[in-house]
Amino acid sequence: MSVSEIHALIQLLDDPDEGVYQHVREELMSKGDSILPAIIDHRASKSQCAVHENRLDELVEGLHGAFVKKAIKNWHDSGAQNILEGALLIHKAADPLLDVEAIKAKYEKLKRDVWLELNEELTALEQVRILNHVLFSEEGFLNSRSGHPNPKDALIGDVMDLKMGNPLGLGTLYLAIARDLKLPIHGVNLPNHFILCYCDEHHVHDGSELVEGNELPSGILFYINPFSEGTVIHPSDVSEFLSHLDLPVDESNCGPCAPIDIIRRLIGNVAYAFERNGEISQSEQMRELLLYIESGATENVESADADARDDGAEG
């Protein structure tokens, strides 16, 4: 369908005949998300009546929502292991016109800069120092300490563009690069503050097997705080932190977590930030996406919201 044909159909969206409107909507919906740029451009450039604008908004939400849900399902069904792809999908959910390829190009450059410095003889600490040097010294990534939640602090494309992020935003980027370079670094769903851990891959649990008792998970050599320029944290400090919160020192609180857990937390973080900035519609769309992933598991949504408030306060 040509651009002129798309615009001709768009003009019919305000037809008072409900049958005509439904036919036009179905025709546009059948074209998929490829027509989103034309629709959004039309919405932004021309003043229309309220009915026409509302129908345009509904069309954008329908097309974009269907695209994102399908992409999330494909990511999940393929194993839900690629952190970058998952994070990009969440950013795409928040911004229909996101230039994903431009972000991937920036990411590949960052990853290559780190890869050029690595070699097999380096110790775990030396590998982390290289990651820290490239990201925080050479590239100048900073932590955001505005005190007010901002979606840009967590969305991976904005983090790379602005070179600034909250614990989750910086941590997701750091983790994506580390995993792509086959470093044994994992996310940690630490309450109040997202961090990472460097593991002995021969002994670390994958999150499915919990350690009995109030003790640190086995296999973790040390923790990493990307929000503090990759500062290395001793396991005993994490244990002490949890004890101050009266929380158990166990796999769920300070052990390696799966990529899907990070994506859940990311969605909750972005939804909370949108809400605090008065962007209620976008906040609700993100929460719907979280519900879609959780298949109605509201207790996990509440947990993600709590983490989002904590991450937002930190960021």
Task: Identify the residue whose tokens are 């209620």.
Answer: 280
- The whole-angstrom separation of Cα 210 and Cα 194 is 20
- pLDDT (tens digit, 9 = 90+) per residue, 69-105? 889 989 988 999 999 999 999 999 999 889 999 999 9
User: Model confidence over 148-198: pLDDT tens digits?
Assistant: 899 999 999 999 999 999 999 999 999 999 999 999 999 999 998 999 999
If you average pLDDT over every residue of the chain, what do you get? 86
Closest Cα partner for 42 from 27, 26, 28, 30?
28
pTM comes to: 0.82
Q: Is the pLDDT confidence value at 236 over 70?
A: yes
User: C-alpha angle with apex 264: 226 to 307, nearest 5 degrees?
Assistant: 60
**pLDDT at 308 > cutoff 70:** no
Cβ(219)–Cβ(200) below 8 Å: yes
pLDDT of res. 59: 81
DSSP-derived secondary structure for 55-118 = HHHHHHHHHHHHHHHHHHHHHHHTTS--HHHHHHHHHHHH-TT--HHHHHHHHHHHHHHHHTT-
**Distance between CA atoms of 128 and 63, rounded to whole angstroms?**
42
What residues pair up with 222 in beta bridges, in sequence order? 198
- For residue 115, the model assigns a pLDDT of 98
**Containing H/E element for 128?**
helix 124-132
Residue type, 181: L
As a whole number, mean pLDDT of residues 115-120 equals 95
Contact 111, 181 (CB under 8 A): yes
**How far apart are the two ends of the chain, measured CA to CA in Å?**
45
- Residue 302's pLDDT band, with cuts at 50, 70 and 90, is very low
List pLDDT tens digits, range 244-287. Answer: 999 999 888 999 999 999 999 999 999 999 999 999 989 999 99
Which residues, in sequence order, are bridge partners of residue 142? 164
